[in-house]
Chain A
Amino acid sequence: DGGITQSPKYLFRKEGQNVTLSCEQNLNHDAMYWYRQDPGQGLRLIYYSQIVNDFQKGDIAEGYSVSREKKESFPLTVTSAQKNPTAFYLCASSIDETLDGYTFGSGTRLTVV
């Protein structure tokens, strides 16, 4: 079955550490996205990529970095420069973000300890 997989489900990070969140899809979608969700709030766009080897900053890109070396993979690195990284991180992919919508992964809950 096709889908989008995020790992790990829960991640604990010490202050000052970089961590990388994995996102893999086998849906053959060109576009992939990273969103951050804080408790009781909506989704805010971190980075997105429409094609391999190309990506754009979203609304809250500071303190994050991404790569898109393969169509299937879009990892997100939360760097030590991100001052408040504790949140729920959602990865998504799409063929067409409008008519067909996004397919989301099950998310990674990151906690700074």
Chain B
Amino acid sequence: GQSLEQPSEVTAVEGAIVQINCTYQTSGFYGLSWYQQHDGGAPTFLSYNALDGLEETGRFSSFLSRSDSYGYLLLQELQMKDSASYFCAVDTGRRALTFGSGTRLQVQP
């Protein structure tokens, strides 16, 4: 079967840096994506990693290690508006994403 493991909750303060980890066990792997979802809202696409290494997009960065079946999302200079759920997702080759259960990030003042 397919499994993606993420911490269920993370808490951090404004201005800090937080890392959300994702480990996966899947039958196929074509890349790791990250999505953000605010309460009651639709998920929005943040990043995609197909190759090992770090991809940076503004305050957010995403990392992938294919040999370790592991990736993370790094959020810098945290703002209150970053409070949301963050999901990692994998394309196992069927051209549709399999999502993790999500990490709820609470940013405190």
Contacts and interface: CB of A to CB of B under 8 A. Distances in A.
A is bound by B: yes
Interface of A: 31, 33, 35, 40-45, 48, 50, 56, 58-59, 90, 97-107
A104 B43 contact: yes
B96 A43 contact: no
Interface in B43-92: 43-46, 48, 50, 87, 91
Given A90-B43, A98-B50, A106-B42, A42 B87 contact: yes
B35 to A, nearest CB: 7
Contacts of A97: 33, 91, 95-97
Nearest to A101: B45
B95 A45 contact: no
The 5 nearest A-B residue pairs measured at CB: A101-B45, A104-B42, A42-B101, A43-B99, A48-B96
B100 A98 contact: no
